[in-house]
Structure 1
Amino acid sequence: MSRDDGAGAVLAVAIVAALALVASAVVGLGAGLAARQRVLAAADAAALAAADVAAGAAPGDPCPVAARVAAADGARLQSCLADGLVLTVQVAGAVGGIPLTARATAGPPR
């Protein structure tokens, strides 16, 4: 084996390691973005469910219903505020120990 063969092998290993590092970062970023979308969807669904209850379209109390819907989507209801038939909720989730929150408002048009 000549010196050039050894240098080529080291370069190949370095390139493969760099590609693996980039691939890991892209997968991690994708997982974080997917988790963020799940929390956003949970907030939307919880707000819509609470607004339906407030408007009388579904039975129950708005905030407990919002909490159940958020939990079904893998999130936790942090706050629920009613302004007449307009409900605003904030939900929380996490990915890799990083907290994520989202807020959504639903109700009839103003």
Structure 2
Amino acid sequence: MTDHRQDSGAATIWSALAVAALTSVATLGIWLGAATIARHRAETAADLGALAAASHAAEGPTQACERARWVTDRMGVKLLTCRWQRLDALIEVESPTGALAGLPAPAARARAGPTGQPP
């Protein structure tokens, strides 16, 4: 017959520490993934908004910027600025979600203009 009073419970403690460490790493990975997705969403919305504005440049800057706002609203980001430099549309957006605590919200800028013109 074995005496179980000699068991100190070290395996239970090590197992609990391992589970806590793995949970922390998984949580960090999920947070980083969410931040990356929010940044990619902002970049994509800025690109599409700039292309939409540039494709409607013939209608005037106001109408072109309204088209960019329409696109960015549907992508779930906030259009911060829409301005023109010569024939190029310059768009800046910010994602309202996806920012980690203490970090600024993901933002992106894009530029689009007519084809066939040197930059």
Q: TM-score, normalised by structure 1?
A: 0.87
State the Cα distance separating 1:83 from its structure 2 match: 2.3
More divergent stretch after superposition (15-24 vs 60-69): 60-69
1:99 alignment partner, SS class: coil
Unpaired segments ≥5 residues, structure 2: none
Amino acid at match of 2:50: A
Point out the structure with max Rg over C-alpha.
Answer: 2
The answer for the alignment partner of 1:19 in structure 2 is 22
1:22-64, CA deviations, whole angstroms, 9 ceiling, x for partnerless residues? Answer: 00100110011011100000000000000000146xxx81111
The answer for the alignment partner of 2:7 in structure 1 is 3
Amino acid at match of 2:72: A
Moved over 6 A (4+): none
The answer for the alignment partner of 2:95 in structure 1 is 93
State the Cα distance separating 1:12 from its structure 2 match: 0.7
1:62-89, CA deviations, whole angstroms, 9 ceiling, x for partnerless residues? Answer: 1111111011100111101112321000
Checking the alignment, whether the CA contact within 8 Å between 1:92 and 1:100 is kept in structure 2 is: yes
Amino acid at match of 1:105: R
The percentage of counterpart residues that share the same residue type is: 36
Unpaired segments ≥5 residues, structure 1: none
State the Cα distance separating 1:16 from its structure 2 match: 0.8
| Higher strand residue share | 1
The RMSD of aligned alpha carbons is: 1.7
The answer for the alignment partner of 1:31 in structure 2 is 34
Once residues 42 and 58 of structure 2 are traced to their aligned partners in structure 1, the CA distance between those partners, rounded to angstroms, is 24
Does residue 105 (structure 1) correspond to residue 111 (structure 2)? The answer is yes
